[in-house]
A and B are shown apart, each in its own frame.
Chain A
């Protein structure tokens, strides 16, 4: 029976073809440094899942954000665990994406034919940092508030357009409910959507081009 279901599905979905191109392929023998990319992917998935649980109770308004986080920590069953994982996962993800970038740099993996993989990678690094920056404000505590105050002042010092950028980031002259609403939307919708798209292209290229071999002396 299971077999018949499988053949039926395979005929329509092309499962065997996917298996052959994605899983059942030869790749050069590589070392542990090559696991950093998949580790980054894993951390992204963890962040997405724990983040979805957090949005169930989190309220993005200055009046309620802090209390809703307190509630997650004290009132929701295992809320503290979910938040703890999301909190530490954010740090680890930045760390792993960065080291993965260093790995591909030192192994010269960005060269022909993997230039576009590298390009999407750089954007992934930037968006990951963006996730860290926007997420930091959401608990609306002292640390969040003042770090973001200073953080949004930095682009504000750019010549000519600086104060304009600062106003866009803050949605006004000071941090306010608008800032929180913007950071929240960017953190849970805009950036994840962009990251998802970039990861899709990144993965397509990694599979299409194959993982680079460890460069040998003279290569």
Chain B
């Protein structure tokens, strides 16, 4: 652009300004309006969409599919077209060219024209690039598999404790017992007869920090027979899971930590009303999760009796059926009462269930072993479980 063109341009601009508006209030008004709308949008997004909860970083879990922020997706997609040896073209050459092209734009585009009709080449290139970026982003979104098994993440402490309780029930009960009480291990291959000290005791809780507990669970105590549970050491628990188990142990067994109210309510087996028939869903399942499933799941020694859902409980096992609706002589009841029968020894092998819990099992089976609470509502208990009617005595 020569000096004359510059002068002409500045004259024209002055004329435009003279015909124009005041910055304050005309322009500021529009700006504020847009900013205000943006603010409302942001608050709305924060309230109604929020931020997705993610499990903590776990360097050992390399199965995780990386998902960059959406505005970098086009770059990731682009890289797929430059595999192996020529990867650096996509990662280095193209981005460098793009940045330089942008930076130097005013210096190589020397034409004085600003209207798009006189800048067709530049406008076309930019449009193609932008459309390409949008297309690549869409392709990236379409081809990334949906977030693996959209896992539930326990965010709050109560959620973590409940998750930890469940995981403890599955992974630890078979050796350490439902309450961490230890004792002689029965029914666990390789450790038969080993006697474990309690891990719920005060001295354990007071001497082991959360970090120590985490590490013991993460890589186990191979010399002593405690298996590793961390993903990085061949186990199946992720970092977040182990943290949950540690929190469960801390908040249930350490007398210095107070179990949050919600947890105490959520994890207790709900009380029964007089004459109510218990159901699998509400009463039996929580007990099984806590006292039985650790051994009664695939890959464990259990006479092929699996207890992960209602169907399995009613039908599986070498001595199936182990639960017969209405029959208090069912294997399960007899074993809970610590009888030695053909199907095996007392259940759970190490420590008897509390009598009030066994009573719930009896009422459930006697009442017809219903699955859901709705089914249970239509059933009645046999007479022996009902309170004896007090004979009204005549007033003196």
CB distance from B141 to the nearest CB of A (A): 14
The answer to whether B150 has its CB under 8 Å from any CB of chain A is: no
Residues of B within 8 A of A154 (CB): 75, 79, 91
Instruction: Confirm or deny: A129 has a beta carbon within 8 angstroms of a beta carbon on chain B.
Output: yes
Q: How far is the CA of A160 from the CA of B58 in the complex (A)?
A: 31
Shortest beta-carbon distance from A36 to chain B in Å: 8
Q: Tell me which residues from 104 to 131 in chain B have a Cβ below 8 Å from any Cβ of chain A.
A: 105-107, 109, 112-119, 123, 126, 130
1/0 contact string of A97-136 vs chain B (CB within 8 Å): 0100110011111111111001100100110010011001
Among candidates B9, B54, B72, B155, residue contacting A133 with C-beta atoms closer than 8 Å: B72
Contact partners of A34 in chain B: CB under 8 A: 27, 30
**Count of interface residues, chain A, beta-carbon cutoff 8 Å:** 86
CA distance A131 to B42 in the complex (A): 18
Closest to B157 in A: A74
A125 to B98, CA, bound (A): 13
Q: Which residues of A contact B105 (CB under 8 A)?
A: 105, 110, 118
Stretch of A9-17, A145-153, A188-196, A197-205 contacting B (4+ beta carbons < 8 Å): A145-153
- For chain B, the count of residues having a C-beta within 8 Å of the partner chain is 77
Shortest Cβ distance from B390 into chain A, in angstroms?
A: 51
Q: How far is the CA of A60 from the CA of B69 in the complex (A)?
A: 20
Residue of B nearest to A24 (CB): B24
A21-36 at interface with B (beta carbon < 8 Å): 22-30, 32, 34-35
> Inside 8 A of B1's CB, which chain A residues have their CB?
112
What are 25 A-B contacts defined by CB distance under 8 Å? A23-B24, A24-B22, A25-B23, A28-B19, A28-B20, A29-B19, A80-B46, A80-B50, A81-B46, A84-B46, A85-B45, A105-B126, A106-B123, A111-B112, A111-B114, A112-B106, A118-B105, A118-B106, A136-B68, A142-B54, A142-B56, A143-B67, A147-B66, A149-B66, A211-B27
Residues of B with Cβ closer than 8 Å to A?
Answer: 1, 6, 9, 12-13, 16-24, 27-28, 30-31, 33-35, 38-39, 41-43, 45-47, 49-51, 53-59, 61, 64-72, 75-76, 79, 87-88, 91-92, 99, 102-103, 105-107, 109, 112-119, 123, 126, 130, 155-157
